[in-house]
Structure 1
Amino acid sequence: MSVKFQPYYVPDQSPWPLVGALGLFLLAGGAGLWIAELGGIAGPVVFAAGTLVMTVMLFGWFSNVIEESGAGLYSKQLDRSFRLGMSWFIFSEVMFFGAFFGALFYARMLSVPWLGGAGNNAMTNAVLWPDFSASWPLLSTPGGIETTAMGWFGLPLINTLILLTSSVTAHLAHLALLDNKRSRLSQWLGLTVLLGMVFLTLQVWEYVHAYQELGLRLDSGIYGNTFFLLTGFHGAHVTLGTLMLGIMWLRVRKGHFTPAQHFGFQASSWYWHFVDVVWLCLFIFVYIL
């Protein structure tokens, strides 16, 4: 009995992984210099260079994949590899945010009570911080920095509703694609991209409000650290997701995707739903509780 093997396309050597690694290095280095206020304008410049390199990498790599797919080089077996790859990528992102949520829970459930003298740690409280009050969020630091907590009502609640709505519109776009309703697909997907941009705009507004009016900064103790790390990294993921969906919208306008072959769109939709779920967790554990 003969076995029929499917062809498995192996691309030529690509520069894009190396370009992406360089872009991530510049982003991380620039962010570190910027936050530490080292080198004057070097931090923002390096960060901007990293953003540019990552943008070029994404457009270039996406273009290669689109050309290969359009040339019919991908088989069902390779499509399964793409799905597994995207699934593992999202799992790695779950672990990424899990580490930051873990830091938040450790600070709230263990460190803060210990500093307050819980669990036979009365000496810890008396020696390190006698005037400490074990409550969350911590609105003062041993160095005397005072801040104000960010409430859940207002911009955070509006942004939550926006992201929930964007998940619905992304799903409606997928249903339109499955029904081969191209006009409806373009409208729902375009609306999803627009909602992502509105979310990011409101988050910038929230950060300005936090810094200028609440005194809530990255150096405002453990509360400011966890707040900006969690919401900031989530904002970076929303930026990437909006860019991905924007590229999918341009592809839809060019007539790409069919009801039977549209994994590029589906992968971007998976990522977007993941980002929305992370925000719901953020809204509950960072803003409300």
Structure 2
Amino acid sequence: MANAHQKNHDYHIMEPSPWPLVASIGVFVMAFGGVGYMRYLSGGSFKLLGLELAQPWMFFIGLVLVAYVLYEWWADTIKEGREGHHTPVVSLHLRYGMIMFIASEVMFFVAWFWAFFDASLFTGEAIQATRAEVTGGTWPPSGIEVIDPWHYPLYNTVILLLSGTTLTWAHHALLHGDRKGMIQGLSLTVVLGLLFTCVQAYEYYEAPFAFKNSIYGATFFMATGFHGFHVVVGTVFLIVCLIRATRGAFTPEKHFGLEAAAWYWHFVDVVWLFLFFSIYIWGGWGAPIAETGH
């Protein structure tokens, strides 16, 4: 009778989990809360079944719920790996899943870059631009002062390239059994990720144009802001890996969590290089450069 329940395959049949359902509820609440939050900021109303949802609290409740689910779900995944459920077949499928996730992120960025190139190459044709933007069919639009690509954007390019180097150092240190080198490399990568976010936040603070009233500002902030969000997510990912590394969770043979974080971070690096050349340099070519605090 015991042999009938013995596992004789490499696949992992998971126990029933509440997290898919809870995650769906959290995302649902956060989506409606986001609409209500935007209506709240604009002074509007958003009623559903007689309830006034134009409030900020619903979005943050959904956000906290999603964050909690992420913590618990990934904690369960780590526990499953410790219990030996991550066989070579399961590990391969985890890698396939990470590759598909990054591929879906690529398509997100394609959408933002597509919008930027469409607006810049076909000025006034596919967009309802303001009169100032249509004048002369120029890009950037007339009256726009752009950010100097050789100041804050160049700083951030160097920062991200260095972070990719320190993360590779951490990975190679792990493969060679150098736990101290792995922790040092991860720590430097986290610091560089936080520094990138601080520099970009200050760049936004000094930006000479706003998100609204300009197709240039809208496409610029959507592309760079979406990338900045990914840097924040990647930094959190690396912080979790650093905490796990200090607790001895990774070995040269078993370290997919760190490997997945490295894939994600290098993806963010590559996207930034394309963004730097296409939006900051090419996209602002010939336009007047705004004076900044430097």
How does the TM-score come out when normalised to structure 2? 0.81
Q: Counterparts of 1:130 and 1:254 in 2: how far apart (Å)?
A: 56
Structure 2's unaligned 5+ residue stretches are 1-6, 45-52, 283-294
Asked if 1:226 corresponds to 2:226, the answer is no
Q: Distance in 2 between matches of 1:235 and 1:22?
A: 27
* 2:74 aligned residue: 62
Task: Read off the aligned partner of 1:235 and give its amino acid letter.
Answer: G
Give 1:45 shift. Answer: 4.0
Aligned to 2:252: 259
User: Alpha-carbon deviation of 1:35?
Assistant: 5.3
Q: Does 1:14 align with 2:17?
A: yes
Q: Distance in 2 between matches of 1:32 and 1:207?
A: 24
Q: 1:162 aligned to 2:166? A: no
Task: Answer yes or no: is the 8 Å Cα contact 1:197–1:242 preserved in 2.
Answer: yes
How much has 1:166 moved relative to structure 2? 0.6
The residue number in structure 2 matching 1:90 is 102
Q: Matched residue of 2:135: which SS?
A: coil
Does 1:138 pair with 2:148? no
Comparing both structures, which one devotes a greater share of its residues to helix? 1
Count of residue correspondences: 265
Cα pair distance change 1:26/1:137, threshold 3 Å: farther
Residues in 2 aligned to 1:197 and 1:17: alpha-carbon distance in whole angstroms: 31
In the alignment, which of 195, 198, 213 is matched to residue 198 of structure 1? Answer: 195
Identity of aligned residues (%): 41
- Letter aligned with residue 10 of structure 2: P
Matched to 2:280, the amino acid is: Y
- Aligned equivalent of 2:234: 241
Q: Please give the TM-score of this superposition, normalised by the length of structure 1.
A: 0.82
1:109-120 aligned at under 5 Å gives the runs 109-112=121-124, 114=125
What letter corresponds to residue 253 of structure 2 in structure 1? A
Q: Deviations over 1:123-164 (max 9, x none)?
A: x99xx7897122211245xxxxxx432221221111111111
AA partner of residue 140 (structure 2)? P
Distance 1:22 1:207, change over 3 A: farther
Q: Which amino acid aligns with 2:213?
A: S
Contact 1:6/1:75 (<8 A) preserved:
no
Question: What residue ranges of structure 1 are gaps of 5+ in the alignment?
Answer: 116-123, 141-146
Q: 2:85 & 2:94 partners in 1: Cα distance? A: 13
Hey, what's the Cα distance between the residues in 1 that align with 2:279 and 2:8? 51
CA contact (8 A) 1:26 1:47 kept: yes
Q: Paired residue for 1:52?
A: 64
Tell me: higher relative CO, structure 1 or 2? Use CA pairs within 8 A at least 6 residues apart.
Answer: 2
Please give the secondary structure, in 2, of the residue aligned with 1:133: helix
Moved more, 101-110 or 10-19: 10-19
Partner of 1:118: none
Cα offset, 1:254, TM superposition: 0.5
Q: Please list the CA deviations of residues 245-280 of structure 1 after superposition, one character each: whole Å capped at 9, or x if unmatched.
A: 110111000001111111111011100100111111
